[in-house]
């Protein structure tokens, strides 16, 4: 088995495990993630509290996976906005070219010319903190990357024989765009989606850490890490358990994206 296949398998296994735990937390957690004093404050991990409790006596295990669910939801919504808009822009610009291609690509260049995280902070600062404003900000910033990837695939596909044959047979442009070409770009899109999830998770956690993402009482991995750093010496499990969950979530999508990217390169 090739090395890059192992990246896909390991990354997919880690991601599947984390997603399964997050989905479970949507329906059941040992304690209410927002309930105060369900145990002693800053209590060490035990059978009653698998990851211990935080400074307000809340169960860290319940909050970690509830927070991971919030992070994953934001990542899904963010990538959905970026991918859908990016596919539409990239497919039309790559297929038709000409002035429409020039205009949209210059717009993408303008957006990507600014540091993406700084631009997201500016957008959220204008809109105000909150998870839906984070989704809007990150979704806008993800559009250019997806548009460029799709544009490149469509620009190459236009010269392929199957596209020329479809044109000669009188197939409509929309059918060629989304029935003939898009499925052939799926390997590249899958890797872009995995990388996009990874970046969205990291960006949301960073913004929540700074206090402009998910707001209390909703749990967030980034905000929990911010709260945990005060108790690093007295309750290290608070930061370690929260950070480990975030690392595994990011690692899974990173390995999955790397494996899919290598596979796409081998099949190119």
pLDDT tens per residue across span 23-68:
988 888 899 888 888 888 989 999 989 899 998 899 999 999 999 9
pLDDT, average across residues 203-224? 86
**Cβ neighbour number for residue 42 with a 10 Å cutoff:** 17
Q: Does the N-terminal peptide bond of residue 162 adopt cis geometry, omega within 30 degrees of 0?
A: no
**Beta carbons of 144 and 105 less than 8 angstroms apart:** no
pLDDT, average across residues 235-245? 92
* Percentage above 70 pLDDT, the chain: 96
Q: Tell me the pLDDT band of 258, cut-offs 50, 70 and 90.
A: confident
The contacts of residue 32 (CB under 8 Å, 6+ apart) are 38, 62
If one compares 1 and 206, the residue with the highest pLDDT of the two is 206
In terms of C-beta density within 10 A (0-12 exposed, 13-18 middle, 19 or more buried), how is residue 184 classed?
A: middle
Is 44 in a helix, a strand, or coil?
coil
Residue 151 DSSP one-character state: H
Element (H, E) at 52: none
Is the pLDDT at 136 greater than 50, yes or no? yes
Is 59 in a helix, a strand, or coil?
strand
CA distance linking residue 236 with residue 219, whole number of Å = 19
Q: Which of 112, 182, 170 is nearest to 140 (CA)?
A: 112
Residue 147 tokens read as: 């548009």
Q: Which of 68, 69, 50 is nearest to 60 (CA)?
A: 50
The contacts of residue 224 (CB under 8 Å, 6+ apart) are 54, 60, 63, 64, 67, 238, 242
Q: Beta partners for 53?
A: 59
Res 2: pLDDT: 47
Residue 143 tokens read as: 């559009």
CA distance linking residue 36 with residue 67, whole number of Å = 16
């Amino acid at each position: 088995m090739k090395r890059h296949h192992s990246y896909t398998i390991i990354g997919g296994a880690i991601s599947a495990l984390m997603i399964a735990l997050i989905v479970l937390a949507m329906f059941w957690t040992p304690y209410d993630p927002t309930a105060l004093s369900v145990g002693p404050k800053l209590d060490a991990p035990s059978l009653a509290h698998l990851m211990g409790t935080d400074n307000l006596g809340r169960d860290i295990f319940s909050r970690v996976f509830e927070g991971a669910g919030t992070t994953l939801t934001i990542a899904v919504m963010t990538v959905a906005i970026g991918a859908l808009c990016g596919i539409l822009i990239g497919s039309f610009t790559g297929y038709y070219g000409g002035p429409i291609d020039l205009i949209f690509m210059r717009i993408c260049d303008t957006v990507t010319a600014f540091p993406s995280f700084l631009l997201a902070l500016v957008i959220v600062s204008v809109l105000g903190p909150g998870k839906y404003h984070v989704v809007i900000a990150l979704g806008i910033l993800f559009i250019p990357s997806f548009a460029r990837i799709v544009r490149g695939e469509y620009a190459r596909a236009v010269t392929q024989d199957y596209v020329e044959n479809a044109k000669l047979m009188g197939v409509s442009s929309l059918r060629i765009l989304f029935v003939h070409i898009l499925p052939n770009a799926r390997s590249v899109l899958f890797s872009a989606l995995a990388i996009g999830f990874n970046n969205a998770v990291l960006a949301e956690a960073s913004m929540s850490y700074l206090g402009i993402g998910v707001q209390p009482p909703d749990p967030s991995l980034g905000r929990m890490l911010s709260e945990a750093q005060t108790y690093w010496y007295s309750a290290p499990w608070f930061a370690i358990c929260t950070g480990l969950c975030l690392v595994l979530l990011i690692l899974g999508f990173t390995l999955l994206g790397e494996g899919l990217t290598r596979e796409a390169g081998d099949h190119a």
